[in-house]
Amino acid sequence: MISDFYYNATYRHQVYLERLKSGEVNKVFPFLDEWRTSVLNRLSDSIITDYSRARLELLLLTIEQDLNVIANDQYSLISQSFQDIAVYEGQFEVNLLNETLKDFDTVLPTAAQLHGAVFTEVMSVRGRHGGKLLEPFIKDWQQDEIREYTQIIRRGFAEGQTNQQMVQEVRSHSDSTKHHASAMVRTGIQHVANQARKKTLIDNGVKKYQWVSVLDSRTTPFCQRVDNLIFDHGKGPYPPAHINCRSNTIPDFPKGFNLKDSGALRSALNGPVSADLDYFDWLKKQPKQMQIDALGKKRADVFQTMTKENFIKLAYNKRFEPLTLDEMRKKEPTVFVLLTVS
């Protein structure tokens, strides 16, 4: 049994999760600025092309050590944030179960169990970043970025570049690093959210799940292909399926689970909701407050008169406004309340 109520609440929750991601990305940026500043300070000490090979390697080792100290602090912050999000997502799923089911005693996994779920489950990300646990996913990204800084200097030395030329490359790489960091944090949070909710559903006796993709101009072929498919837990892919994936899952309730009126089944006559509705069409049907939360007030004011083409230009060139976990927690009740007035 697939609940329409559950589907809409999960979709709405993803809007807030995207804003939370923006807030978490902003927390990481100061560490990236520290990386850049540290490297630039080392480059200002003397003329690199005057170095011997041995002195160059010593400099590069020192830079690596400097950047790894910063990376350790960065990882501590990311790890703690991810643990906090895992606990929140577990509680959210319990709240959603309570709103959907009647005559059912929900079970909330402990914080340690939720942390274990997100850090010990392999990420389903495809490509060279895939098949990793969460910690190596983060730390491998860090080492890739640090390695690129040292390669810029080693390459500059080999090519006889001036310090200023190396400085320009360092600054350019710093800009790229922020883009990469954003992708890492956003993908990591999607993994944390889905794994915490998966653990909660399994502990509450739900054995199957339906894949729910956010259908819009950015949806990948893989997420289009698996949208609406039903899998057994442990026998199918789990979001995120790729870097920057926004896909979710919802429970396929077994017989014996009693749904409240608000949890009515999705209509078989109309077919699966997300098969016919993309993000634009779905958002058109939402209350004004949800449109404001998704787009911002100015964009929401003109949204109802917009064509899909104009919406894509307007909405997807814009980052979601940052949201803290505490702010997200305060907004959570609207996910349920607004559903009753849609």
Q: Any idea of the CA torsion for 176, 181, 184, 188, to the nearest 10 degrees?
A: -170
pLDDT score recorded for residue 173: 95
Radius of gyration of the chain (CA): 23
326 half-sphere exposure, CB direction, 13 A CA radius: 0
pLDDT score recorded for residue 186: 97
Placement of tokens 């340690």 in the chain: 112
Q: What is the DSSP letter of 51?
A: S
**What Cα–Cα distance (Å) separates residue 161 from each residue in 36, 107, 153, 171?**
19, 62, 9, 15
pLDDT score recorded for residue 81: 97
**What Cα–Cα distance (Å) separates residue 118 from each residue in 98, 199, 232, 244, 271?**
23, 9, 18, 17, 33
pLDDT score recorded for residue 23: 95
Q: Report yes or no: 145 and 174 within 8 Å, Cβ to Cβ.
A: no
Q: Report yes or no: 239 and 194 within 8 Å, Cβ to Cβ.
A: yes
Cα 53 to Cα 76: distance, rounded to the nearest angstrom:
35
Q: For the chain, report the end-to-end CA distance as a whole number of angstroms.
A: 22
Cα 164 to Cα 237: distance, rounded to the nearest angstrom:
47
**What Cα–Cα distance (Å) separates residue 219 from each residue in 102, 284, 295?**
35, 19, 19
**Residue 233 CB-density burial (10 A; 0-12 exposed, 13-18 middle, 19+ buried):** middle
What are the residues whose beta carbons fall under 8 Å from the beta carbon of 17, sequence distance 6 or more? 189, 190, 193, 328
In DSSP terms, 12 is beta-bridged to none
Buried b / exposed e over 115-140, threshold 16 CB at 10 Å, is bebbbebebbbbeebeebebeebbbe
Per-residue pLDDT of the chain (342 residues; tens, 9 = 90+): 888 888 888 988 998 999 999 999 999 999 999 999 999 999 988 888 889 999 999 999 999 999 999 999 999 999 999 999 999 999 999 999 999 999 899 999 999 999 999 999 999 998 888 889 999 999 999 999 999 999 999 999 999 999 999 999 999 999 999 999 999 999 999 999 999 999 999 999 999 999 988 776 677 888 888 888 899 999 999 999 999 999 999 999 988 888 885 444 443 223 344 444 566 677 777 777 777 777 777 777 777 777 766 665 555 444 556 778 788 778 777 666 655 444
pLDDT score recorded for residue 316: 44
pLDDT score recorded for residue 284: 76
